[in-house]
Amino acid sequence: MKITLRIVVSLLLVAAVVSFGFSLHQVQSEKKRLVEEYEKRAIVLADSLQSSYEQASKLGSKKGLRRLVARFKKMRAFEGVAFFDINGTILETSQDVNALLDRMHPLVKESIAEDKGVADLVGGKGGNQKYLYAIPLYQDSATTGALVLFYDTPNLTQRLTEILYNNMLRFMVLSFLLIFTTILVVRWSITGPIAQVSDWLKEFRSGKSKDPPSFPRGDILGPLAIEINSLAKSVAMARAVSEEKERLTAGTESLWTSERLKEHVKNELGKKSLFVVSNREPYMHVKKGSRIECVVPAGGLVTALDPVLKACGGVWVAQGMGDGDREAADAKGRLKVPPGEELYSLRRVWLSKEEEEGFYYGLSNEGLWPLCHITHTRPSFRLEDWVHYQKVNEKFAEVLLDEIANEDSPLVLIQDYHFVLLPLLIKRKRPDAHVGIFWHIPWPNPEVFGICPWREEVLLGLLGADLIGFHTQFHCNNFLEGVDRFLESKVDWEQFSVERNGHVSFVKPFPISVAPSVYKAPENPGALKESILKELGVKAEFLGLGVDRIDYTKGIKERFSAVERFLEKDPSYIGRFTFIELGAPSRTLIKPYRELISDIEETAEKINWRFQGKDWKPIIFLKDHHSHEKIHSYYRVADLCMVTSLHDGMNLVAKEYVASREDETGVLILSQFTGASRELGDALLVNPYSIEEMAGAILMGLQMDGKEKSLRMKRMRKVVSEKNVYYWAANLITTLARLRIQ
């Protein structure tokens, strides 16, 4: 109540000062206007009397003046009139003016002396004021005296009084409205939300809490809302892990959690830090008008590694790509993340447009990406891209060496195909470092890999690492076969290692996964589903879902064709089944990606045009960078999720969908060409190139018995829960840390 009182008193003081100032100004302005109006009337009448005076003076001063005064009384234009001679002696008057003589004499003298009309406003009885106007009198062009007109001004006093009264009334009404509005706004925007937070915290402590209260975007309580959501997510994650652990069968090894990983890494590394290198940064700062916001970029790499660094701490080195990144970091590009938690350090590396064009869009995504994903997209290899690629790898090496300069035997974990040269560059300068690289995409067979003009350089760069990780043993085998074919080296197929020039590189599979879901299951999934359908503007009984970064490897167009074929084969689902695709645009500067987006949109429009009804359509393509909260809400209401990549290293969408289904229902349709298919055998595995097979899987998923759905999902959830991202990180970090460095 104190803050409300302070706000009310402050507002009233400001309103009083403003009202007083405005009233004073208005009174002065109105007074000036009325006086000017009196003056105009006095000038006109005085001029008339001046002429009459000259005529009356010819008849004799006294007699003529009496007649003039008598005529004036009949006019009633003014209260009175007085004539004075040149010496200021009164000659004739319409009434007794003794009370005004003290003010008239100075006015008469001033008028005669300055030879012009002068006016004055003097106080009168009862608070009324008298208006006096003096003007010289002439006879034969000589000044002979002065004329003074005077009258009461009750309308002036009345008008000014009305102004003050009205303004006082306005002030009282304004004060009441200010008090009422202030109390209402404070209660609605401050005390009310704080009371909600207080009630929520009471329930939260007892474990009965629902979702934390939400505040409007940009509200003054926004920072508090961020902290509350962060707290809720952290505790929800801990509770979810605990609940999942209790559900596992007796004797099963306890689940890996962030806390367990943190303790494990502390025991393995001691005081050493973990250094992660990737092209994509985990947190990006972007400008939104005059503000800078922190966003989480889409992609499986960030999804997998951010929880690891949050648990272990350390340094993440990545390219700064946000237009607000420089303002958010220090002179060297360092900052603490996540915002508000500051659990590890981010070191940003700045690239020029030319470097980014050649390194990222060129060799990485027009060369190595299509080379490793066998999706019939021809890779492009240009010498200038290779030159930029080498320079960027050297730049990252310099930054990383600066970060590990004071570390003894540092642990370095490099990510993905952007940095094939980095392991060798680091080991040359720091042979004591434990260097590992994890390859997030497939590794092709030797025949395909042999297309690369710099295949030997790529292999030599990777073999600078002490540990090379892939998602599956199949990809490990492809890599070793490529090394055996293109390099002089000793390949140990029993230990899965490569020895070259006295250095041994181990090649092992580490299937990556996701963190346990931190999002609370909806209390009423049906209501959530209806809410989503209402937001989309459609009505449907069944929902299918696809979540992808828009890429030609994800098989989105083929997926849409499968939905079309499914409706052709079983028309009973027309008007009942809707497929939603959450697509995140990426690499739009590359022509094939721009063309792909247009092709996907055209395919969706063609299918919708063919089947859609008044309030239903078969495909909804939502092209945007969707938040994790939004994606998880769709996971929870989708009757089936289609992950039909044409070729993928793992594809974490499949595991995210499984992890989100606490209700142990839903169907996963999974491509046999994903790494996830090796672990999630209870999904409906399909050939993404077979439209008929995928259409059949959709029908099978929708008609599957509830018990079978639950049994399949329960087994997949057990796999994802036990072998989550913390298990992956612990396995990878432990293996790298325990390697003997020669």
Residue 246: pLDDT band with limits 50, 70, 90? very low
Residue 107 lies inside a defined structural domain of this protein: yes
CA separation, residue 103 to residues 27, 82, 98, 376 (Å): 25, 13, 10, 109
Residue 203 lies in a domain: no
d(CA 493, CA 507) in angstroms, rounded, equals 10
Q: How far apart, in whole angstroms, are the C-alpha atoms of residue 685 and residue 693? A: 9
> pLDDT tier at 253 (50, 70, 90 boundaries)?
low
User: Phi/psi zone of residue 113: left (φ > 0), alpha (ψ -120 to 50 degrees), beta?
Assistant: alpha
* Owning domain of residue 84: 2-157
Check whether 615 has a pLDDT greater than 60. yes
C-alpha torsion sign, points 6, 7, 10, 12 = negative
Measured distance CA(532)–CA(537) in Å, rounded: 9
Burial class of residue 658 in the structure, from the number of CB atoms within 10 Å of its CB (0-12 exposed, 13-18 middle, 19+ buried) = buried
Tell me the per-residue pLDDT of 560-601, one tens digit each, with 9 for 90 and over.
999 999 999 999 999 999 999 999 898 888 888 899 999 999
667-691 pLDDT, tens per residue? 999 999 999 999 999 999 999 999 9
For residue 713, is it within any domain? yes
Establish if 650 belongs to a structural domain: yes
| Residue type at 654 in one-letter notation | A
The residue among 123, 142, 157 that closes a domain is: 157
Ranges 263-272, 343-352, 449-458, 707-716: which has the least confidence: 263-272
pLDDT at 150: 79
**Is 584 inside a domain boundary?**
yes
Tell me the pLDDT tens digit for each residue of 17-57.
877 777 777 777 777 777 777 777 777 777 777 667 666 66
pLDDT for 63: 63
More confident site: 612 or 74: 612
Residue 95 lies in a domain: yes
Q: Residue 440: inside a domain, yes or no?
A: no
Number of domains in the chain: 2
Helix axes 628-637, 652-660, angle to 10 degrees: 70
pLDDT for res 73: 58
Q: Is 412 left (phi over 0), alpha (psi -120 to 50) or beta?
A: beta
Convert the pLDDT of each residue in 95-129 to its tens digit.
766 767 777 778 888 888 888 888 887 765 545 67
CATH number at residue 662: 3.40.50.2000
Helix (H, G, I), strand (E, B) or coil at 685: strand
Rounded Cα distance, 599 and 187, in Å: 52
Q: Which helix (H) or strand (E) holds 709?
A: helix 706-722
Q: Which pTM was predicted? A: 0.68
Peptide bond into 509 cis (omega under 30): no
Question: What would the pLDDT profile of 306-359 be if each residue is shown by its tens digit?
Answer: 888 888 889 999 999 888 999 999 999 999 999 888 899 999 999 999 999 999
Tell me which residue of 497, 525, 538, 496 sits closest to 633, measured CA to CA: 525
pLDDT at 214: 66
CATH of residue 92's domain is 3.30.450.20
* Interatomic CA distance for residues 154 and 152, integer angstroms: 6
Final residue before a domain boundary, out of 132, 157, 182: 157
Residue (of 146, 132, 24) closest to 84 by Cα position:
146
Residue 729: inside a domain? no
Structural domain ending residue among the three candidates 111, 129, 157: 157
Terminal Cα distance for the chain, rounded: 71
